[in-house]
Amino acid sequence: MHDTSTPHVTDTAETRNEVLDFVAIGIGPFNLSLACLSEPLEDVNGVFLERKAEFDWHPGMLLEDASMQTPFMADMVSLADPTSHFSFLNYLKLHDKLYNFYIREDFFLLRREYNQYCQWAARELTSLRFDHDVQDIQHVGDIYVVRGIRPSTQEAFVYRARKLVLGTGTQPYLPGAADAVHSEVPVAGSRVCHNAHYLARKDELTSQPAITILGSGQSAAEIYLDLLREIDQHAYQLNWITRSPRFFPLEYGKLTLEMTSPDYIDYFHALPREQRNTLLATQKGLYKGINLELIDEIYNTLYAKQLQRGAHHPDDQHRADLADSRERRWRLQPGALSARTAASLAS
C-alpha cells in the first residue's frame, strides 16, 4: 500500500462527507458472500471495492469438467440464510435450470457453473464497485480512510468507514528455483507459468517437448490429468514432481467436516493465538490435497493408457523399445522435489 494524492477524486461517500458502516476490500467469493448477506439489511451501509473490472473466479483454472471441492449448499448464502435471494437453488430456478441440476444428482458444481452463479449475484448487487484498486488505508481516530485509483481512468477515490473487511485472497506463489526463468508478467516464451495462467498459456505449453508440474495440490492434479488426457495428440513428456512424500487426498470424513461448523469456528476463535497456530499446523489435510475421485481418475487414465500401448505393441522388439520410450513420457515423483531438482528441470 502506498499513498496516492491524485487531484481528481470521484464523488464518493467521503466527498459527500459520509462515514459508511464498512468498506470491504476485494470481491472474491468471501466478500461476495458478505455482500449477498448484507444486501437486504437496510440499516447497514457499506461498499465492496475490487481492482478487477468484473467478477471472474480463477479464470486460468476453469477447465471444462473441473468441479468444486465443496458441495452446492456451501454457496454464498445458504448455510447462513437458506431463504436468501442469492442462494444457488434460487439462481437455478431463475435461470430455468433447477430440474437439470436435480436430475444430474451431483452436489458438486462444475467450477464454471459456480463462476456463472457468482457473476449473476455480482450483477444483482448494488454495493459492489469494480475497477477500484485500493492503495492506501489509514486509521484516523475511529475511522478508516481508504484511498485508491480506478485502473481504467486513473481517477482517485476515497471512502471512509467505521469498519474494514479484508477479503483480498492470496497471491500466486512460485518457488525460488523458478526465479531465473520466470517473468513477472506472463509473456509468450517465458518457460515457467503459475497455474493461475494455465488456460491462457496451454497452447504454448503443449507445444513444448517436456512439461513438468511442480506441487501436488488440487490444481496441479487437475493440470496433470488434463495434459495426460491429451498426451497422445502432442509430443511432450509429462513429469509431475512434489516434495510431499505421497499424492495426498483432501480429508473429507464427516467427523472432520464438523470442523467447518460455526460451533467449531467459535470455539477455535476463542482459543489463545498460540494454540490456534499449533492447531492450524495440524489441519492442513482439510484444505491441502487432492480430491480423492481425481486421484482415482488419474490412476485409471494412466492404467488405460498403458493398456492401450500394450495392445498396440505386443512382441516386436522395435515396438517394445518404442513403448519403453513412451513409458517414460509420464513420470510421477512424490518426495522428489529439492531446489536442485526444480532448478535442473526448469533450465
Which residues of the shown chain bind ligand FAD in the complex (CB under 6 A)?
A: 25-31, 49-52, 58, 61, 68-70, 133-134, 167-170, 219
Q: Residue 193 CB, nearest distance to ligand FAD (Å)? A: 14
Q: Residue 58 CB, nearest distance to ligand FAD (Å)? A: 4
CB 178, CB 38: distance < 8 Å: no
* Segment (H or E) for 139: strand 133-140
| Cα–Cα distance, 133 to 90 (Å, whole number) | 31
By beta-carbon proximity to ligand FAD, the closer residue of 25 and 214 is 25
By beta-carbon proximity to ligand FAD, the closer residue of 154 and 317 is 154
Closest among 126, 40, 105 to 77, alpha carbons compared: 40
User: DSSP per residue over 149-194, as a string?
Assistant: EETTTTEEEEEEEEEEEE---------GGGGGG--SS--TT-S---
- Say how many CA atoms lie within 13 Å of 230 toward its Cβ: 13
By beta-carbon proximity to ligand FAD, the closer residue of 155 and 313 is 155
Q: Residue 170 CB, nearest distance to ligand FAD (Å)? A: 6
By beta-carbon proximity to ligand FAD, the closer residue of 30 and 268 is 30
Q: Residue 1 CB, nearest distance to ligand FAD (Å)? A: 7
Alpha-carbon distances of 13 from 18, 85, 150, 160, rounded to whole Å: 5, 27, 15, 7
Sign of CA dihedral 191, 197, 201, 205: positive
Closest among 217, 256, 211 to 230, alpha carbons compared: 211
Q: Residue 169 CB, nearest distance to ligand FAD (Å)? A: 2
CB 215, CB 248: distance < 8 Å: no
By beta-carbon proximity to ligand FAD, the closer residue of 194 and 329 is 194
CB 221, CB 295: distance < 8 Å: yes
By beta-carbon proximity to ligand FAD, the closer residue of 69 and 301 is 69
| Cα–Cα distance, 327 to 237 (Å, whole number) | 10
| Cα–Cα distance, 187 to 172 (Å, whole number) | 16
Q: Residue 76 CB, nearest distance to ligand FAD (Å)? A: 10
Q: Residue 323 burial (CB < 10 Å; 0-12/13-18/19+)? A: middle
Q: Residue 320 CB, nearest distance to ligand FAD (Å)? A: 40
CB 302, CB 228: distance < 8 Å: yes
By beta-carbon proximity to ligand FAD, the closer residue of 75 and 330 is 75
Q: Residue 35 CB, nearest distance to ligand FAD (Å)? A: 11
By beta-carbon proximity to ligand FAD, the closer residue of 217 and 334 is 217
